[in-house]
Amino acid sequence: MYLLFVNEMNYLNLGCGRRFHPGWTNVDFVSTGENVVAHNLTQGIPFPDNSFEVVYHSHVLEHFPKAAAESFIRECDRVLRPKGVLRVVVPDLEQIARTYLTALEQANQGSQEWQANYEWILLEMYDQTVRSSSGGEMAAYLSQADIPNQEFILKRCGTEAKILIEAARQQQTSSVVPESQLKYLLKRLYRFLRYPNFRRELLIKSLLGKEYNALQIGRFRQGGEVHQWMYDRYSLTRLLKKCGLDSIIQRTATESYIPDWTSFNLDTEPDGNVYKPDSLFIEAIKPAA
């Protein structure tokens, strides 16, 4: 069954998070705003064939297992109109790998600056894939009061890193008053009486004992935060071709087949800065019927 509401503009942003244009149709696991439809994209795209002129997703494909990527791209193709544009943005594996090699050489030769950069690029490459709790080691790195290579990180990861650093600093300055034991127990009792899911969770926890932790890790890893695979210009082009798309081309953040692309402020900020400079931007066209 398909959702009926397609926004007038016929442009679709999948896995939008908090980065969406109100004139588009936007989808994510949970609704992050009035214009965001809540839907799990591993269950397909909830719109009829040939609905959209543009399908866009940024830093989403790498969150799908490799085996699910092809069916997701085929779904994107299905909901696109003939001659419609698919724009896929992912972290650029090639750029990460090249930076890693530079960092390795420089750090090995004793450069202090590159020792920190080496640490960071490994977090980009691995922490985002192997972590089993939200934020992982990357969040801890960004929470340091004095980040030794902040400029390097901001140059690579742009606005996203800036937001994370600012959030970590704010958390550190807001004073947290420790909760009394009584308040804690009353809160738990209230939740127990009020929420069936809380009772269910307590039951699962007591049944699973030590194995409850394994369930928590599994839930987290299916929750859309970790990277399940990575792409470069070669593998992403090959995937789009396999799914029947045409006119595949690598772009910059500002270039696009989509008219007035930068006016939507998805890959760029209003001041012209690139939102996620560590990205690979690839576009393709759905062949005419």
Ligand X SMILES: C[S@@+](CC[C@H](N)C(=O)[O-])C[C@H]1O[C@@H](n2cnc3c(N)ncnc32)[C@H](O)[C@@H]1O
Quick one: 77 or 278, whose CB is closer to ligand X?
278
15 sits near ligand X (criterion: CB under 6 A): yes
- Facing residues of 11 across strands? 54
60 sits near ligand X (criterion: CB under 6 A): yes
Under a CB-based contact definition with an 8 Å cutoff, are residues 153 and 147 in contact?
A: yes
42 sits near ligand X (criterion: CB under 6 A): yes
141: three-class secondary structure by DSSP: helix
Quick one: 16 or 85, whose CB is closer to ligand X?
16
- Minimum CB–partner distance for residue 58 and ligand X (Å): 4
Quick one: 21 or 103, whose CB is closer to ligand X?
21
Which amino acid, residue 224?
G
Residues 224 to 263 in contact with ligand X, rule: CB under 6 A: 224
CA distance 16 to 30: 10
Stretch that binds ligand X, among 45-53, 58-66, 116-124, 228-236 (CB under 6 A): 58-66
88: three-class secondary structure by DSSP: strand
- Minimum CB–partner distance for residue 51 and ligand X (Å): 17
58 sits near ligand X (criterion: CB under 6 A): yes
Give which of 281, 215, 222, 221 is closest to 253, Cα–Cα: 281
Under a CB-based contact definition with an 8 Å cutoff, are residues 114 and 254 in contact?
A: no
Q: What is the DSSP code string of 3-60?
A: -----TT-EEEES-TT---TTSEEEESS--STTEEE--GGG--SS-TT-EEEEEEES-
CA distance 31 to 33: 6
17 sits near ligand X (criterion: CB under 6 A): yes
Quick one: 15 or 277, whose CB is closer to ligand X?
15
164 sits near ligand X (criterion: CB under 6 A): no
Quick one: 69 or 116, whose CB is closer to ligand X?
69
Quick one: 19 or 131, whose CB is closer to ligand X?
19
Quick one: 42 or 129, whose CB is closer to ligand X?
42
59 sits near ligand X (criterion: CB under 6 A): yes
Considering only the C-alpha atoms of the chain, give the largest distance between any 2 of them, rounded to a whole number of Å: 67
Site string for ligand X, 22-41 (x = CB under 6 A): ------xx----------xx
124 sits near ligand X (criterion: CB under 6 A): no
User: Site for ligand X (CB under 6 A): which residue of 19, 131, 251, 286?
Assistant: 19
Burial class (CB in 10 A: 0-12, 13-18, 19+), 184: exposed
Which amino acid, residue 79?
V
278 sits near ligand X (criterion: CB under 6 A): no
Return residues touching ligand X (CB under 6 A).
15-17, 19, 28-29, 40-42, 58-60, 63, 224
